[in-house]
Structure 1
Amino acid sequence: MIKYKTREEIELIRQSALVVSKTLGLMASKIQPGVTPLQLDAWAEEFIRDQGAEPGFLGLYDYPNTIITSVNEQVVHGIPTSRPLEDGDVVGVDIGAKMNGYYGDHAYTFEVGEVEPKTKRLLEVTKECLDLGIAQVKRGNRMGDLSYAIQQHAEKNGYGVVRELVGHGLGKEMHESPEVPNFGKRGRGPLFKDGLVIAIEPMINMGTKNVKQLSDGWTIITADKLPSAHFEHDVAMIDGKAEVLSTFDYIEEALAKVNA
């Protein structure tokens, strides 16, 4: 059952989402060749707690860390390790935070050093998929319209759309109804209504759509070992249109300083 949120609840979710946004901004300032995902994890946990929030993923379903770091062919759910990031890597960083009883949850795939043009293009298209999905959150549309928009844009560019993992509703629980697939048919699925809050998260592979899980029980990788990208925003429907509760502004500000 979908739990539609009041304006007050949406504002509480926004506060938690902005903690995540600021934490991702911190990650943007730290990610470079030689840094380890475990270092990022420690910095993120300290920062989230300093904001008066709790790490949303730590202990959730027995997950062992604060952040998720998915490197190169890792699609999602990569556990932070001590292997230093290398020039040319891409790393998807997914972060959750809980404050005032509500969760925020969003993600960004970062370039490490100089990344190949074809990999840059994958990241660009995946971010475009996210924007196209968000644009479908409006009065009269259904979930399938969002799903179709993401799938069509990804496949038009020759990429694989992951089927086994989807976005989700968000609120007092990290994962609520409805599921938010990145593939589907227009006009199908739940009708969008005011008070809906969802995490939209395209997971797009450079090659095959097929994935497999590693023996750690968490990490999902592409079946062909080609790179994957993952971007995620928390989105509410208010007055018949989408309102993005999270932001990439902190990331973009940090990257501008790093690249200056």
Structure 2
Amino acid sequence: MAFRKPKPVPFRTAGEVDAMAAAGAVVGAALVAVRAAAGPGVSTLDLDEVAETVIRQAGAVPSFKGYHGFPGSICSSVNDVVVHGIPSADVVLADGDLVSIDCGAILDGWHGDSAWTFGVGEISTADADLSEATRLSMDAGIAAMVEGARLTDISHAIEQGTRAAEQKFGRSFGIVDGYGGHGIGREMHMEPFLANEGKPNRGPVLVIGSTLAIEPMLTLGTTATSVLDDDWTVVTDDGSRSAHWEHTVVVTGDGPRILTVRPDA
């Protein structure tokens, strides 16, 4: 039986990668502006307006707005909301809140997609550990994005990063079940799906120019979630807090390159 070489993770040319980096830079700037605007008494709708303004002033278009009917330019997920929180005038931030902001932009037909979690005012040690653990897990996944690796090498690295964070912080974290990263390019969500845990050395192979959005989501408790009646908002089933970090990343000959760099952040 002949050995079948695995297919590659979809890849871009050098010029296309630079175009994606330009879109990613807009996303990074929007996220930094949103974090600067966030504080007690500020609504998530206020933050959405900040992000949309930055994106449109850069000549880009918010990729989330209108996506399958989503009404916002960001997903604003507070405390026990994992992802896909709808910006609202009724969701007003308070001291101690843990906020996850996911943002996307389209520039010249190319997509950037990134997310980060931050606290409002003084947050608990547990919440700070959760956000940092999620960031460390993302970084572990990014580090695995090298030429010749397989897709699930990234999944395994994210999982191992989470377990290492558990040892570092002396607490357990739930890896949210059923959600993960994805291919990205001229569409926001493309194949392949990238799980945030799993065995290594499976799936398509990474080549120079392969682009993926890497996005672990961790909780302080359960791995189980439910979608609210608005058909978007994903919450933890046990009410535990959640964090979400994401970067758009490309494989290069010099290792992984983050395409959604945040200015001065």
Q: Does the alignment reach a TM-score above 0.5?
A: yes
1:234, CA displacement in angstroms? 0.7
CA contact (8 A) 1:193 1:240 kept: no
Q: Distance in 2 between matches of 1:143 and 1:163?
A: 18
User: What letter matches 1:135 in structure 2?
Assistant: A
Q: Distance in 2 between matches of 1:141 and 1:4?
A: 14
CA contact (8 A) 1:148 1:185 kept: yes
Q: Distance in 1 between matches of 2:198 and 2:23?
A: 29
Q: Distance in 1 between matches of 2:159 and 2:237?
A: 19
Of residues 180, 189, 202 in structure 2, which corresponds to 1:175? 189
- The ranges of structure 1 where at least 4 consecutive aligned residues each deviate by more than 3 angstroms after the TM superposition are none
Which sections of structure 1, spanning at least 5 residues, go unmatched? 253-260
Q: What's 1:238 paired with?
A: 252
Q: Does 1:162 align with 2:169?
A: no
Q: Distance in 1 between matches of 2:10 and 2:203?
A: 16
Q: What's 2:146 paired with?
A: 138
CA contact (8 A) 2:25 2:262 kept: no
User: What letter matches 2:20 in structure 1?
Assistant: I
Q: Does 1:98 align with 2:127?
A: no
1:81, CA displacement in angstroms? 1.4
CA contact (8 A) 1:139 1:240 kept: no
Q: Does 1:198 align with 2:212?
A: yes
CA contact (8 A) 2:147 2:252 kept: no
User: What letter matches 2:219 in structure 1?
Assistant: N
Q: Does 1:209 align with 2:209?
A: no
Q: What's 1:20 paired with?
A: 27
CA contact (8 A) 2:28 2:261 kept: yes
Question: The residue matched to 1:147 in structure 2 has which SS?
Answer: helix
Any idea what the Cα deviations from partners look like across 1:132-158, whole Å, max 9, x if unmatched? 000001123111111111112324511
1:239, CA displacement in angstroms? 1.5
Question: The residue matched to 1:141 in structure 2 has which SS?
Answer: coil
Any idea what the Cα deviations from partners look like across 1:57-115, whole Å, max 9, x if unmatched? 10011111111100001000000112210110011000110010111110111111100
**TM-score, structure 1 length as denominator?**
0.93
CA contact (8 A) 1:21 1:106 kept: yes
Q: Distance in 1 between matches of 2:263 and 2:22?
A: 15
Q: Distance in 2 between matches of 1:46 and 1:246?
A: 18
Q: What's 1:258 paired with?
A: none
Q: How many residues align?
A: 251
User: What letter matches 2:64 in structure 1?
Assistant: F
Q: What's 1:64 paired with?
A: 71
**Identity over aligned residues, as a percent?**
39
Question: The residue matched to 2:256 in structure 1 has which SS?
Answer: strand
Any idea what the Cα deviations from partners look like across 1:156-191, whole Å, max 9, x if unmatched? 511111121111111100111111110110111211
The 5 A counterparts of 1:72-151 are: 72-82=79-89, 83-151=91-159
Of residues 14, 36, 43 in structure 2, which corresponds to 1:36? 43
CA contact (8 A) 2:55 2:62 kept: yes
Q: Does 1:223 align with 2:230?
A: no
Q: Distance in 2 between matches of 1:96 and 1:68?
A: 9
Q: Distance in 1 between matches of 2:92 and 2:120?
A: 11
**TM-score, structure 2 length as denominator?**
0.92
CA RMSD of aligned residues (A): 1.3
Q: What's 2:3 paired with?
A: none
Which sections of structure 2, spanning at least 5 residues, go unmatched? 1-6, 167-171
Question: The residue matched to 2:53 in structure 1 has which SS?
Answer: helix
1:248, CA displacement in angstroms? 3.5
Q: Distance in 1 between matches of 2:77 and 2:54?
A: 20
